[in-house]
Structure 1
C-alpha cells in the first residue's frame, strides 16, 4: 500500500513468486559465484543467491532484500543490522525465495544468514553482508490528527487523517507509499499533499459508521529527500462513531440534524448578516473541529473604538472553520433565529439547542451550510470535502484504492 493500502497476503505471496533478484557474483573461487554454498558429495548442489550482492555498499534503504535458492529450498533467513534490529520478511509458498517486507535503516551494515537444504535434505548455512546509504539528517511526524484529545479517538464520519512533518518532504512518493491505512470496513481513499509538510487522507465518501481505522506510518529509514530519512514509525488507531450529518440553509434559517439517516433535532438558526462588513457564513461541507464550553470572539481586523468592533464571551461553541465560524449559543438573537440573519458570520442557535449540539457532536461530524454567496475554501479549517474526488486525487502521488481490512 502506498498512501492507501492494497492487496492481501495472498497477493504478496504471488508477487514473491514472480519477482526477480540480482545474484551476487563478485569474484568467488573455483568458478563459483560469491555467496553460494555447495552441498556434500553425492547430492545435487543447492545454491543461494543474495540481493543486494555480498559486500554491496550505499544500498538504498527501500531496496528489498531478496534471498533465492536454486536446486533446493530455504529453511530460514535472518537479516540483522549492526546498529539496529532485524528486518522482517516473507517466504514464498515453495520456499525458494525470501523477501524483506520492511525498510532498512540508513548507515547500517546488515548480515544476511540463510539456511538452505538440497534435494537430499542436507542443510547449509550461507552468509552475505551489505551496507546501506548514509543519512545526513532525519525527518519525523510533528503532529498527527485525530489524536487522543479527540473524544477518546471516536470521531465523525467526515474525519480526515492529517499529518504534519517537521521537515519539507521532497520524495513524496517514497513517503506516501509507506503511509498505510487499514479499516474494519472497506473504503476507497487517498492521500493528498497540501504542501511539502502536510499530507492528509480522506475516503472518497464518508467513512461507514462504526468503522475501526488504523494508520501505520512506516517511515523509519524511508527516504524523504536527498540524504534525509525517516526517524521512526508511528501508529494511530481511532474509531468512527454513529453517522451524524447536520444541514442548514442561510435562506431557510433552520439546522436539521440527522443521525443514521433519522431526523433527531431541528434548530432555528441565524447566519451571517453580510452587509458592509461582509459577515457571511460560508457555504460548504464543514467539519466539527473543536468543542469549546467558552470562547472569546473578537471582530477580525477591527480594533477597539472602531466602527464594527466587538468582543463577546460565547458559550457552548462548535468550531467549523479557521476563519472564526462556530455553531454557538446566542441568547441575544433568539428572536431572529428561524427568521433572519443577524450574526457576524457564525451560526447562532438558542442556549438550549447549543447545549444539546455540543454534547451530541463528535469531532469530524459534517455540518453542511448552503445558500451563502461566500464559499468555504478547501484549506479553510478542514474543508477537505469541498474538493471533488478528481480534485483530491490531483494532489496524490500514488493511485488510490481500497483500504486493507483490519484482522
Structure 2
C-alpha cells in the first residue's frame, strides 16, 4: 500500500471510530464515569421522567378563560383519585377569597358570594395515595352588571307583615324571557294557598294568593335565577331563599260617605275612627290598598304629586306630618292631621286625596286616633276605601294587586 492510500485508510478508520464513540457516548455506555459529569446528569433526568406521575386529577370550574361566570356557584375545585392539600383563590389585584376544603378533602368552594366584573385566579394542589403532588391553575371573569340582572324584592326576610302583603319583585333590567325567569321564582305558603304571579311590566312581577294570606302562616320566596337568561346576553345572579310571617288579620274600611273608618280583626270591628277623606275636588281613590311604608313623621309637598299654585309652588308643604302610612306609589297616605280643625273628622272631606285622622304636632301624643292607628298597624295591612266617587286605584299603583280579580291576575302569568 502506498503512503497516500495508507493515510486515506487511517483517516477513514478514525472517522468511523469517532462515529462509534459519539454514538456510544449518546447512549451512556462508557465504562469510566470519572469524566462523565454530563452522563450522570442525563441519567438522573431520565430516571425522573420515567417515574409514574401522580394519579390525582384536579378539576377547577369554571374552566380556564371563562367569562360571564356566576357569582354564586360557578367557583369550585374537586379532585378524584386523591385529596386536596391546598387551594388559593384571589382577584387579579391580590385580594384573597376565603374558602374551605371539605371534610373528606375532595372539594373546595368559596365561603361567600363573588363580586361581579371581577377576574379571579385559582391555584390548587392535591396528592394521590402515594403522596405524589398534582397541580392545576385557572382564571375566570364573573358576569358584569351590564350582562346580569337582579330582582329587588319585598317584604324583607324575617319580617312579620299584614295579610295583604304580596311578594313584589322589581328587576333592574327589562326581562324579555319572562317564562324562564318566572320558572326561577317560587312562592309558597305554609297555609297551602295557591299562589300565582302576575307581570305588570317587563321589570315588575308580583305574586299573591286568590284571597288574603292566612293569619299566622309563613310565606317562602325562593329565587333560583343564577345563570337564567332574562334577556339576550343578560343573566340572573341571585340564588337565595327568604321567608316572612303573616301577622294577625287586620283590614280597615274607610267610608268617605259616613266619614268613619272601621278597624277589623278577623272580621270583627275593634275600633271606629272618624276620618276626613279627599275633598269633592280631590277625591280619594277607591279600592283595596296595602300599607307599604310607615313614617312616624314625614314631609308632604303638594308639588311632588302635581298640586301646585300659579307660581309652580306646592299648594301645601307640611314638613312634619305625623303617623303617615303609604297606600300608593302616587302619594296616597293615611296619616295624622294636626293642622285641620278637630270638627272636620267625621264631618267633612277636606284633603287632597289622603285619608286624615285627628292627631297632634310632634307625633308624641299616644292618645290621638292617628297615633292609635299607627301603633296598631303594620306594613301589609289592608285599608279598603269606599264611597269616594273616584275610580278604583290601579293594581300596580303601590302593592294593590288585590284590585284585579283572580282570573285577570292569573292571565298575567308567563307560565
Q: CA deviation at 1:272?
A: 0.6
Q: Which moved more, 1:372-381 or 1:247-256?
A: 372-381
Within-5 A mapping of 1:131-146: 138-146=147-155
| Count of aligned positions | 266
Shift of 1:305: 5.2
How far has the Cα of 1:391 moved from its partner?
1.3
- Alignment counterpart, residue 318 of structure 1, candidates 311, 314, 325: 325
Q: Matches of 2:311 and 2:143 in 1, distance apart?
A: 56
User: Does 1:287 pair with 2:290?
Assistant: yes
Determine the C-alpha separation between the residues in 1 that align with 2:230 and 2:314. Answer: 48
Cα distance, 1:142 vs. partner?
Answer: 3.9
Query: What does the per-residue CA deviation read over 1:223-260, in whole Å, with 9 as the maximum and x for residues that have no partner?
Result: 22333332231222111000000001110100000112
Between 326-335 and 207-216, the greater mean CA deviation after superposition: 326-335
SS of structure 2 residue aligned to 1:374: coil
**What SS does the aligned partner of 1:208 have?**
coil
Q: Rate the CA distance shift 1:220–1:249 in 2: closer, same or farther, 3 A.
A: same
Q: Does 1:362 align with 2:374?
A: no
Relative to structure 1, is the Cα distance of residues 330 and 175 closer, same or farther in structure 2, using a 3 angstrom cutoff? same
- Please list, as runs of the form range in 1=range in 2, the aligned pairs for 1:48-197 lying within 5 A after superposition: 83-84=75-76, 138-147=147-156, 153-197=159-203
Partner of 2:404: 387
Residue 403 of structure 1 is matched in structure 2 by none
* Alignment TM-score, normalising by the size of structure 2: 0.60
Report the 3-state secondary structure (helix = DSSP H, G, I; strand = E; otherwise coil) of the residue aligned with 1:195: coil
CA-atom RMSD in angstroms:
2.5
CA distance in 2, matches of 1:265, 1:217: 40
- Structure 1 residue 307: deviation in Å? 9.1
Q: C-alpha separation between the residues in 1 aligned to 2:314 and 2:236?
A: 49
SS of structure 1 residue aligned to 2:179: helix
Instruction: Point out the structure with the larger helix share.
Output: 2
**CA positional deviation for 1:358:** 0.9
| Bigger Cα Rg | 2
String of CA shifts for 1:120-143, please: whole Å, max 9, x gaps: xxxxxxxxxxxxxx9897433241
Out of 219, 225, 232, the residue aligned to residue 231 of structure 2 is 225
In 2, the alpha carbon distance for the partners of 1:238 and 1:350 equals 32
Deviation for aligned residue 1:308: 7.7
SS at match of 1:341: coil
Question: Which one of 215, 218, 234 corresponds to residue 209 of structure 1?
Answer: 215
Sort the Cα spacing of 1:333 and 1:281 in 2 relative to 1 into closer, same or farther, 3 A.
farther
Structure 2 equivalent of residue 240 of structure 1: 246
CA contact (8 A) 2:254 2:260 kept: yes
Q: Contact 2:149–2:230 (CA<8 Å) still a contact in 1?
A: no
User: 1:288, 1:353 → 2: CA distance?
Assistant: 17
Q: In structure 1, what is the equivalent of residue 94 of structure 2? A: none
Structure 2 residue runs without a partner (length 5+) = 1-72, 79-141, 360-367
| Alpha-carbon spacing, 1:291–1:232, altered in 2? closer, same or farther (3 Å) | closer
The one of the two structures with greater contact order (alpha-carbon pairs below 8 A, sep at least 6) is: 1
Secondary structure at the residue paired with 1:255? strand
How has the CA–CA distance of structure 1 residues 307 and 143 changed in structure 2, closer, same or farther, with 3 Å as cutoff? closer
SS of the equivalent of 2:200 reads strand
Q: Which runs of 5+ in 1 are unaligned?
A: 1-80, 87-133, 399-407
Cα distance in 2 between the residues matched to 1:264 and 1:383: 24
1:307–1:333 CA distance, 2 compared to 1 (3 A): farther
CA contact (8 A) 2:220 2:241 kept: yes
| Cα 1:261/1:306, change in 2 over 3 Å | same
Structure 2 counterpart SS, 1:335: helix
In 1: Cα distance, 2:372 partner to 2:322 partner: 12
Correspondence for 1:250: 256
